[in-house]
């Protein structure tokens, strides 16, 4: 199966349910074509290796659509929405100036990370303070650490 996926990652969508629920097979399929995350069971969407492989794929292709990273993040577990590496990749997958995608991802991350000054500053740097800051959640705009970092 892994050899077939190496040649044709789209074969994953026609694989048996048992194979689509195998972590190793699913990761290989996602690495071959990031859109294969859509054929993974909801249970596997709570698996860090699966979500990380997909987010790395989205980040590499600078997914500008409102699908992809925002949709996957919305469907994964609370624990993974609080995983800094996954969140950084998801936010990084939003192309320069693609504020709607950034805000969609941002709305699906943990409250703790919404007030992470470093993550917020990365987004502001990419998308512009004047355009993005007013659209961030009130809790983020009111967080002292975030505001201090933006002002300095």
Contact 106, 123 (CB under 8 A): yes
Inside any domain, residue 77: yes
pLDDT digits (tens, 9 = 90+) for 30-77: 998 888 899 998 899 999 999 999 999 988 876 555 468 888 999 999
- 43 in a structural domain: no
138 within a domain of the structure (yes/no): yes
Residue located via tokens 């699966």 = 50
139: its two tokens: 């809790």
Structural domains of the chain, count: 1
pLDDT digits 0-9 by tens, 72-110: 999 999 999 999 999 999 998 887 778 888 999 999 999
What is the C-alpha end-to-end distance of the chain, expressed in Å? 53
40 within domain boundaries: no
Regarding predicted confidence, which is higher, 10 or 130? 130
pLDDT 10s digits, 116-148: 999 999 999 888 888 898 999 998 988 888 888
Q: Quick check: is 117 in a domain?
A: yes
Whether 89 is covered by a domain: the verdict is yes
pLDDT confidence of residue 93? 86
Q: Rounding to the nearest 10 degrees, give the CA dihedral for residues 46, 140, 85, 81.
A: 0
In a domain, 93, yes or no: yes
Residue 44 lies in a domain: no
Residue 94 Rama label (left phi>0; alpha psi -120 to 50; beta): beta
Q: Is 70 within 8 Å of 105 (Cβ atoms)?
A: yes
**Predicted pLDDT of residue 69:** 87
The parent domain of residue 67 ranges over 62-151
């Amino acid at each position: 199966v892994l050899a077939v996926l190496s040649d044709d990652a789209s074969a994953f969508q026609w694989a048996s349910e048992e194979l689509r629920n195998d972590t190793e097979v699913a990761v290989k399929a996602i690495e071959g074509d990031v859109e294969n995350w859509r054929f993974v069971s909801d249970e596997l969407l709570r698996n860090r290796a699966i979500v990380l492989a997909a987010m790395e794929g989205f980040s590499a292709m600078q997914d500008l659509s409102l699908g992809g990273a925002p949709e996957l993040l919305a469907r994964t577990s609370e624990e993974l929405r609080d995983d800094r590496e996954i969140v950084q990749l998801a936010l990084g997958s939003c192309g320069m100036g693609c504020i709607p995608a950034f805000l969609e991802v941002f709305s699906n991350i943990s409250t703790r990370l919404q007030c992470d000054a470093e993550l917020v500053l990365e987004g502001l740097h990419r998308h512009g303070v004047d355009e993005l800051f007013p659209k961030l959640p009130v809790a983020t705009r009111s967080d002292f650490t975030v505001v201090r970092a933006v002002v300095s």
